[in-house]
Amino acid sequence: MITFSSVSKRYANGYEALKGISFTIENGEIVVVTGHSGAGKSTLLRLAAGIEFASTGNVLVNNQNLAQLKETGISVLRQNLGLVFQDHKLLFDRNVFGNAALPLEIAGFTRIEIGKRVRAALDKVGLLHREKAHLVSLSGGEQQRLCIARAIVNRPSILIADEPTGNLDQAYAATILDLFRSFNQVGVTVLLSTHDGSGLEHLKCRQVELEHGVIVR
């Protein structure tokens, strides 16, 4: 569960990205945050992931107040989160398998378990046949799918994705949204953002629309 209670976010330069945000995402729900560029979507997702913290108000994830957690607590919490952000942060000195394996290597999984989990994740996103490919040979859509594989390799209970269909053509975007729907159907809570609210009908999701840092719908 993710809960925002009267959350505002003001940056050091005085810019207020979010103003009095309150809403709750229930376990197993899929919620899409929409709004114009600069509406505060990315800020909201970073707050939910514990990457940034609210200036006022409270953000709770799995009943834990993020502002009250120490760095070790945030690290433990993130092991239950799958994160896909616009800056892919893929490592071009690693192949597809190596990029997807990175979270498991950091967590100390055995080589055998890493192999099982990585190949299962790559198969889920349709990249198993490209596990040895170098990143320069991947299309934009394939790189996005690799980011999703890396996000789910830890089998998170919450998946957070910022503009996962940005810069993709309509067909590829629909494929990516179908992936998120399939994760949700097996109980994963999904929070994602998009500046384009079209094509979301088949997700059967709840939409939260932001406008200049305020929820308008």
Angstrom distance (rounded) from CA 168 to CA 173? 6
Digit-coded pLDDT (tens) for 132-169: 999 999 988 899 899 999 999 999 999 999 988 777 77
What are residue 23's DSSP bridge partners? 4
150/189 same-domain check:
no
Does 103 or 87 have the greater pLDDT score?
Answer: 103
Which band of pLDDT confidence, cut at 50, 70 and 90, is reported for residue 198? Answer: low
How many CB atoms are located within 10 Å of the residue 66 CB? 21
145/174 same-domain check:
no
Angstrom distance (rounded) from CA 141 to CA 118? 19
Angstrom distance (rounded) from CA 69 to CA 99? 29
Asked if 146 contacts 68 with a C-beta cutoff of 8 angstroms, the reply is no
Beta-carbon contacts of residue 27 (< 8 Å; ≥ 6 apart): 1, 157, 189
49 part of a folded domain: yes
Domain boundary residue among 104, 133, 155? 155
138/45 same-domain check:
no
Q: What is the dihedral of CA 102, 75, 144, 1, to 10 degrees?
A: 140
Asked if 74 contacts 48 with a C-beta cutoff of 8 angstroms, the reply is no
Segment (H or E) for 113? helix 111-124
52/96 same-domain check:
no
CATH number at residue 14: 3.40.50.300
84: nearest Cα among 34, 27, 37, 149 = 149
166/191 same-domain check:
yes
Query: What are the respective helix, strand and coil percentages of the chain, to the nearest 5?
Result: 40, 25, 35
165/214 same-domain check:
yes
Domain that holds residue 95: 91-155
Digit-coded pLDDT (tens) for 61-79: 998 999 888 888 888 888 8
Does 44 or 69 have the greater pLDDT score?
Answer: 44
β-strand 64-65 against 56-61: which pairing, if any? Answer: antiparallel
11/72 same-domain check:
yes
Which band of pLDDT confidence, cut at 50, 70 and 90, is reported for residue 172? Answer: confident
